[in-house]
Chain A
Amino acid sequence: MVRILVADDDHAILDSTQLLLECEGYEVITASSGDAVCDLENNLPDVILLDIWLSGTNGAEVARFLKAQERTRHIPIILFSANRHIEHLAKEAGVEDTLTKPFDIETLLQKIQKYTPFSVRGRD
């Protein structure tokens, strides 16, 4: 099953996004701080949805860190922000894509599918 890591410091955004993606048949893990994302152990996710303003650490820095690690470099990252103009930040951080808050589930699903083209997701 496709695993998505959702990282956001807002409890309700984490909760709602997790439920939405689970309803669409994805396995979801969550993180509410930058450190929790950087400490990813085994079972790496297939896609990361990363908030740009994580408490304690800057999301763009977390992205740079992940893109600098051999182990995590290949994981597509979607940078998640209320700001509509983050293309330059996304480019600087080396992430694959961006998503503006509030978001449409269809847009999020399209983006995830784009980065997991060969995966089959289970549906209840």
Chain B
Amino acid sequence: MKEQPIKVLLVEDDPGDARLIAEMLKESTSLPCALCHIDSLFKIRDLADETFDIVLLDLHFDDMTGLETYSYAQTYFSLTPIVVLTGLRDERLAYDIVKLGAQDYLLKDNIEPKGLVRSIRYAIERKRAEIQKDEFLGFASHELKTPVTSIKAYIQLILLYAKRGHQQDVLPLIRKIDVQVDRLTHLINDLLDVTKVRAGKLEFKFESFSLNEIVDEVISNMQLMTNRHQIVKEGSISALVYGDRERTAQILINLLSNAIKYSPQADRILVRMNSSNDNVSVAVQDFGIGIEKEYQQKIFERFYRIDGRKQENYPGLGLGLHIASEIAKRQNGILSVESEPGKGTTFYLELPTACSHTHAEKEA
């Protein structure tokens, strides 16, 4: 597939500088660019409906300070990376503007083709990461507010019941609040875990345990989260696995919450257990919307949420599967997916048995 050229907007009033940059971009075979040049800052207004991949912005326009120039451009291109261009004696200013939000700066006196291309690439990636983080904060606060909303409603209900002397109805509500507090705790743990995964600092407590027991526990807890679905377990295994009990439960909770979330029309979810010589596996199958082939590996990436309108309807942190797959790897296991759009999705968690672990230890 041929690479789309990068759409560059150059805002530069000095014809010499503009020509120089245009030539460098033209010659940059490693990064094909389509250049649009304007020689006055205020012509940005006429381009408000266009989108660019990057803006190269000269900081010196008549009667305006560098900061004003940047702020002006930034209001029109809040989602576009901006690299500011400045002279040697203004490096301090350029640096201040980067602190204010520009992605990079270049000194015009010693600009050269390779440095220019590097700066464009860097600025685009940096802006993409910033936008992703901002979106993530939006999703995160939405997700955290969901359990908080029901907790608050249950508490108000308890107050009403108390006022009206319905003391006997209060206890079930307190249990429901407890479930929601656990859910909130899981979300917060996910947030903390993702930073630890990144720093390679996720803690594990390795031991032999019964996967069968964990699966039963998690199913009975997750059944409380859905009225619509019946979570059905098929098969049972006696072999012990070697890993972290809590972390393994965390993977299963994640898979079942996804199954519930992405099969709003279905009435059941299957959890199948299997074992071979060295491995045990749990398959969590839903009959929901499924995942397109092109996204099936990306869903394990950090912050990844499938783009597009369809996905907007399924809020989430985009952390769960990333964390789950990292946890599986750390336990010498593997998390994989099979899916058909419109039919449903099956996630497979495979973990080594405690027995195979002991053999491996002995051989080592």
Q: How far is the CA of A19 from the CA of B315 in the complex (A)?
A: 25
Chain B contacts for A35, CB-based, 8 A: 265
Give 8 CB contacts A-B under 8 Å. Answer: A13-B146, A16-B153, A16-B157, A20-B157, A55-B262, A56-B265, A82-B145, A101-B148
Do B313 and A56 touch across chains, with their CB atoms under 8 A apart? yes
Chain B contacts for A10, CB-based, 8 A: 146, 149-150
Q: Of B63-71, B194-202, B221-229, B273-281, which stretch is located at the interface?
A: B221-229
When C-beta atoms are compared, the residue in chain A nearest to B153 turns out to be A16
Partner of A16, one of B176, B183, B228: B176
Chain A contacts for B264, CB-based, 8 A: 9, 32-33, 55-56
Q: Of A40-48, A68-76, A102-110, A114-122, which stretch is located at the interface?
A: A102-110
Any B CB within 8 A of the CB of A11: yes
Any A CB within 8 A of the CB of B309: yes
7 tightest A-B CB contacts, nearest first: A16-B153, A12-B150, A55-B264, A82-B145, A102-B152, A101-B149, A102-B149
Given contacts A33-B265, A82-B142, contact A15 B156 (CB under 8 A): no
Chain A contacts for B164, CB-based, 8 A: 23
Given contacts A102-B153, A103-B149, contact A58 B309 (CB under 8 A): yes
Do A55 and B314 touch across chains, with their CB atoms under 8 A apart? yes
Q: How many residues of B contact A (CB 8 A)?
A: 36
For this complex, into which size category does the number of interface residues on chain A fall?
A: 20 to 34
- Contact string against B for A residues 11-52, beta-carbon threshold 8 Å, 1 for contact and 0 otherwise: 111011101100110000000110100000000000000000
Given contacts A55-B264, A82-B149, contact A105 B176 (CB under 8 A): no
Please give the distance in Å from A49's CB to the nearest CB on chain B: 12
Partner of B146, one of A24, A101, A103: A101
Residues in B lying within 8 Å of A, measured CB to CB: 141-142, 145-154, 156-157, 160-161, 164, 173, 176, 179-180, 183, 225-228, 261-262, 264-265, 289, 309, 312-315
Any B CB within 8 A of the CB of A54: yes
Chain B contacts for A32, CB-based, 8 A: 227-228, 264
A23-B157, A102-B145 known, 14 other contacts, Cβ within 8 Å: A16-B154, A16-B157, A19-B157, A20-B153, A23-B160, A24-B160, A33-B264, A35-B265, A53-B312, A53-B315, A82-B141, A82-B145, A82-B146, A105-B156
Chain B contacts for A9, CB-based, 8 A: 264
Chain A contacts for B157, CB-based, 8 A: 16, 19-20, 23
Chain B contacts for A57, CB-based, 8 A: 313
Please give the distance in Å from B5's CB to the nearest CB on chain A: 34
